[in-house]
């Protein structure tokens, strides 16, 4: 649908009306809300406030597209490679050792488990939303903090004002959907009244307390009856009797680190292999197998957008891809000259990184820097992709402390157990030049609210 209906039309004037009718200075409530978030954790980033309230039809469309794109990504190994996972990994440029290591894990359970947790990221343009990547991994950004932000907004005077004027808006409870997905893939933990949930850290020197999202994430897990124990992944021991941390038997193993983060911090491949075997033998639920790195790879977007693979998709599927997915190609010597001559039209990305790491936007750097970055990427052992830059970025205007700024928005609809879990937002200041919109790169974060059409609609989360 057209972007003029992004926000619920009937609520566009609600915030200024609320401020005027109650003689409230906008910065007072804004600062009060930010203070509440800092009380939750001192390192909390800026949170989008007042909340962005979206048109329900717009969000439903976004949600449906997200589910359809995840389904296409999930279908790639069978649809394109006829179940030949070695051929798929070769296409994704995994080396021989990686293929030999990952291939035994390409079992129906671990392949299915890998796609149970996803968050496609969409950039808003003036002519619709465009997907820039499809995150496929259990440790999805926004977990825990999404519900915290929603709960604090429900307590704010502005939200009470909306209820008083029978303007209802809600945000799904992400915790409920995520835990439902965890329970669905668990076979061991479900047999215990208070199972042990091991939260594994790849880096043993990591300061757990500095992670602003961790306290809410732990509370989220505990709300389902788990006892959360945190420690270095490398200190797990695996035996025929089970998996242990110190003297404690563990039922579920989870980590917020990717496979590449774990190996870079010295977590042995042999330990990860032992954990997958322990899962196969019903000793634990290992809910973060390395197989998610196959689906999370950006070269899968090349399969969706390259003419070479069009014959594998139906006309309806191709229509969705062409409308919503930005063209993505692996960087090579064949397209280097095009990337150099059309600098402002392309973005360079590492194929397996996350958090905006290593992303170079052509129009944001000089020609010399762009050339150097492309040459460095070509000579790197890592794989890089060129992605078409979204045209005509959409932005909205807001004023805080007397300064009016424009913000561009990244929409992250979460899909857990193939069920919609809520819309995670990030926004960055927009001055006409595209930039990475990621919390790890300093973007503000937020929970999207959706307008309820019926005046009798239930108010969830209160």
Determine the pLDDT at residue 127.
85
Report the DSSP pairing between strands 196-201 and 252-255: parallel
Per residue in 369-382, pLDDT (tens digit) is: 999 999 999 999 89
Determine the pLDDT at residue 457.
35
Let me know if 7 is exposed, middle or buried by CB neighbors in 10 A (0-12, 13-18, 19+): middle
Determine the pLDDT at residue 450.
92
Determine the pLDDT at residue 105.
96
Return averaged pLDDT per consecutive 10 residues of the chain, 462 residues in all: 56 86 91 92 88 91 95 97 98 95 95 93 92 89 87 94 88 92 92 92 81 85 92 94 95 88 88 96 94 95 97 97 96 95 95 81 94 95 94 89 91 94 93 81 90 48 26
Decide if 449 contacts 171 (C-beta within 8 A): yes
Decide if 147 contacts 434 (C-beta within 8 A): no
Phi and psi of 68, rounded to 5°?
A: -65, -40
DSSP 54: E
How far apart CA 221 and CA 182 sit, in angstroms, is 10
50 cis-preceded (ω within 30 degrees of 0): yes
Per residue in 264-309, pLDDT (tens digit) is: 888 999 999 999 999 999 999 999 999 999 999 999 999 999 999 9
CATH number for the region 187-286 comes to: 3.40.50.1760
Determine the pLDDT at residue 460.
30
- What are the boundaries of each domain within the chain? 187-286
Determine the pLDDT at residue 91.
97
Determine the pLDDT at residue 144.
77
């Amino acid at each position: 649908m057209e972007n003029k209906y992004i926000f619920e039309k009937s609520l566009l004037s609600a915030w200024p009306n609320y401020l005027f009718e109650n003689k409230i200075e906008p910065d007072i409530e804004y600062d009060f809300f930010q203070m509440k978030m800092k009380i939750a954790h001192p390192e909390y980033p800026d949170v989008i406030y007042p909340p962005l309230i979206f048109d329900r039809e717009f969000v439903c469309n976004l949600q449906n597209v997200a589910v359809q794109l995840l389904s296409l990504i999930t279908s790639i190994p069978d649809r394109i490679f006829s179940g030949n996972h070695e051929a798929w990994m070769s296409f994704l440029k995994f080396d021989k050792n990686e293929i030999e290591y990952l291939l035994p894990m390409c079992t129906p359970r671990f392949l299915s488990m890998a796609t149970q947790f996803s968050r496609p990221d969409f950039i808003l343009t003036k002519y619709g939303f465009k997907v820039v990547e499809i995150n496929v991994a259990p440790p999805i950004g926004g977990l825990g903090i999404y519900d915290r932000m929603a709960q604090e907004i429900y307590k704010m005077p502005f939200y009470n004002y909306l209820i008083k004027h029978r303007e209802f808006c809600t945000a799904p409870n992400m915790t409920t959907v995520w835990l439902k997905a965890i329970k669905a893939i668990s076979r061991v933990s479900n047999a215990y009244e208070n199972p042990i949930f091991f939260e594994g850290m790849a880096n043993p020197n990591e300061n757990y307390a500095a992670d602003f999202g961790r306290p809410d994430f732990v509370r989220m897990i505990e709300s389902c009856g788990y006892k959360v124990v945190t420690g270095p992944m490398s200190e797990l021991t695996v035996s025929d009797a089970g998996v242990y941390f110190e003297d404690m038997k563990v039922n579920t193993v989870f980590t917020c680190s990717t496979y590449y983060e774990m190996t870079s911090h010295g977590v042995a491949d042999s330990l990860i292999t032992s954990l997958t075997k322990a899962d196969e033998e019903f000793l634990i639920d290992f809910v973060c197998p390395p197989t998610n790195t196959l689906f999370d790879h950006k070269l899968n977007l090349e399969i969706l957008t390259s003419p070479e693979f069009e014959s594998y998709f139906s006309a309806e599927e191709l229509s969705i891809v062409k409308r919503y997915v930005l063209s993505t190609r692996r960087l090579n010597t064949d397209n280097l000259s095009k990337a150099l001559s059309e600098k402002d039209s392309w973005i360079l990305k590492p194929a397996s990184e996350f958090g905006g790491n290593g992303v170079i936007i052509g129009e944001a750097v000089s020609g010399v820097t762009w050339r150097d970055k492309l040459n460095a990427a070509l000579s790197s052992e890592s794989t890089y992709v060129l992605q078409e830059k979204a045209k005509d970025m959409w932005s909205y205007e807001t004023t805080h402390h007397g300064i009016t700024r424009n913000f561009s928005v990244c929409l992250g609809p979460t899909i857990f157990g193939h069920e919609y879990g809520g819309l995670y937002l990030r926004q960055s200041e927009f001055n006409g030049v595209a930039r990475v919109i990621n919390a790890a790169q300093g973007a503000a974060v937020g929970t999207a609210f959706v307008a309820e059409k019926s005046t009798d609609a239930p108010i969830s989360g209160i």
